[in-house]
A and B are shown apart, each in its own frame.
Chain A
């Protein structure tokens, strides 16, 4: 088991390294304008542009540039081309917001998905089941930015039931913080509720027919006990692993659209803006950050799964 973990971590680091190289090269090899000129602002002279090139090392060959940039990522010296402000500070500022969005949405979707999925399984084949399935499918089919923008405008501005986008720091006012996040949480969750409730439903239906459930029933345990203690717990295992992967994916990318629509100014929005401006340092840093989470959660899921699988554990 220990060897497995070590191998997995090594793989993680390798993948991160590869991701960083890929990102850096995508932006530096594809023609995209001269960052030195961009940084020089309005009406600079050739000497000014040359000075910036020297200072930022744009004249060095690409490998040197890569190593310098990567060093800066870890020492926190990375500066944005557009604003010349430190990238790590921006990411640190945005981190709690992205997390608040992702965690809240994830909890919401799990909770609702469990309710829906369980209910559907229990009423399998009946109208309620069909109805919830259709709702779930509609949820999966909606573009998150579309439903988010509509909710923001109609529920937020027109009806005034919710605030009109924006983010309030938890430290300032926890209630207001949650209030501002309800719509974003819902928009992001709608996407996943549908999917998870269906997976849970099918897992529950499968488990119900398993032997150990029949045994439990034969032993005389109440239906409710069976549902919760046996069926649900067993159905949850694949759900939890999927949840881990999806959570990583949300931090890695799904949050971007929601943050942009609701103006939450988290890491995702920062990344989207930086990409639009072809501002390499923030894009590099946010990509690494997002990839790190995806890779981390993947690794955790793998390790947990391996732990549960005796074949690996006993290696």
Chain B
């Protein structure tokens, strides 16, 4: 690849920060402090940041809701059960298969958002599903960042044949149609699980979608990181460190990686958003979270089947997804703007 289309950040290290600090008349503050200040002024981004944290907390509190209010688990079916609503006894699932609608607090919080076709509590599944979806998104994003940094730094710093090999690997991964690859892996692994040497992962383990999603997005971040590392490599402070006799590993850890910190942060938020969406897509196709475990994607898939009689089954998890991804996108934008208003960080689809 001769040049990389608009994927690089234009962050330039300490020198640039100083210049900007001068411009803003806030001497003495490091780039992070500066960025934080700017972020604080961006009310909208803050709002969405808090929204995201709120979503995480609410979903993390799933067991609290399940045990104390709904008194049922995410996979417990109540096909033939009845509940008391305003003194009336109602079927959770009617004889014609139609599940009960949202009860809100009418049945003491049971079936707050109604039941699904198998008689399971939607609210409980939504919260546990959120836990799964968010957990997968966060962990997969972490994996992507981790692998991208390693590959990007090694490739950009050492150049030559190492770079060529890693770049080719990234090219191959990049060319692989994302959804087909992820679905294929998801389906194949869900069937038999994964056995690498002594390590066995069950077919329905969350580790499988996490690994797949984490792997799939590596080229999207590794390339820009590599580009950045290549330009950082030529900076004076790196030369200085080299002159002082520091080995490559030392330099990578003490000079290069810290300068990637802001890139990492911005990418991280965007990656979580994309990972959550990809997980939903995979689960929708049956290659992500396996039944009976809930995730927002599986709930949408189940809900679409029931869209005529119980549209909320599909609509509610979708809204949760939109809110989550939107919050991440807006907040991520805000972080990027705060750290460097001129940066052009983007995540290609």
Contacts and interface: CB of A to CB of B under 8 A. Distances in A.
Interface of A: 4, 11, 14-16, 18-19, 22-23, 26-27, 30-33, 137-138, 140-147, 149-150, 153, 191-192, 195, 199, 202, 238, 241-242, 245-246, 249, 252-254, 256-257, 260, 271-272, 275-276, 278, 283, 286-287, 290-291, 294-295, 298, 301-302, 305-306, 309, 311-312
A305 B3 contact: yes
Given A33-B191, A298-B174, 17 more contacts: A141-B321, A143-B280, A143-B284, A143-B300, A146-B321, A149-B304, A150-B314, A241-B6, A245-B348, A246-B348, A249-B348, A256-B180, A256-B285, A257-B179, A271-B180, A291-B176, A312-B2
A32 to B, nearest CB: 5
A143 B281 contact: yes
A301 B174 CA distance: 15
Nearest to A294: B175
Interface of B is mostly: helix
B33 to A, nearest CB: 25
A275 B180 contact: yes
Nearest to A256: B179
A245 to B, nearest CB: 6
B184 A26 contact: yes
A306 B184 contact: no
11 contacts: A19-B176, A141-B326, A141-B329, A149-B300, A191-B349, A275-B184, A275-B187, A275-B285, A276-B183, A283-B184, A291-B175
A290 B176 CA distance: 8
Contact of B183 (A31, A147, A238, A272): A272
Given A146-B300, A257-B281, A295-B175, A32 B188 contact: yes
A287 B300 contact: no
A125 B324 CA distance: 25
B171 interface: yes
A276 B180 CA distance: 10
Interface of B: 1-3, 5-6, 168, 171-172, 174-181, 183-185, 187-189, 191-192, 273, 277, 280-281, 284-287, 297, 300, 304, 307-308, 311, 314-315, 318, 321-322, 324-326, 329-330, 333, 344, 346, 348-349
Contact of B326 (A4, A138, A298): A138
B348 A15 contact: no
A140 B2 contact: no
Interface of A is mostly: helix
Listed residue (A33, A140, A271, A306) with the most chain B CB atoms within 10 angstroms of its CB: A140
Contacts of A246: 348-349
A30 B201 CA distance: 13
A160 to B, nearest CB: 14
Contacts of A145: 280-281, 284, 300
Contact of B187 (A140, A254, A278): A278
B325 A141 contact: yes
Given A241-B6, A301-B5, A305-B5, A287 B188 contact: no
A149 B307 contact: yes
Contacts of B192: 30-32
Nearest to B308: A153
A309 B6 CA distance: 13
B348 A242 contact: yes
B272 to A, nearest CB: 12
A226 to B, nearest CB: 23
Contacts of A286: 180
B190 to A, nearest CB: 10
A30 B349 contact: no
Contact of B175 (A137, A298, A306, A311): A298
B242 to A, nearest CB: 27
B55 to A, nearest CB: 13
A18 B6 contact: no
Listed residue (A141, A144, A149, A287) with the most chain B CB atoms within 10 angstroms of its CB: A141
Contacts of B180: 252-253, 256, 271-272, 275, 283, 286-287, 290
Nearest to B171: A15
A156 B124 CA distance: 31
Given A31-B192, A150-B315, A252 B178 contact: yes
Contacts of A242: 5-6, 348
A154 to B, nearest CB: 8
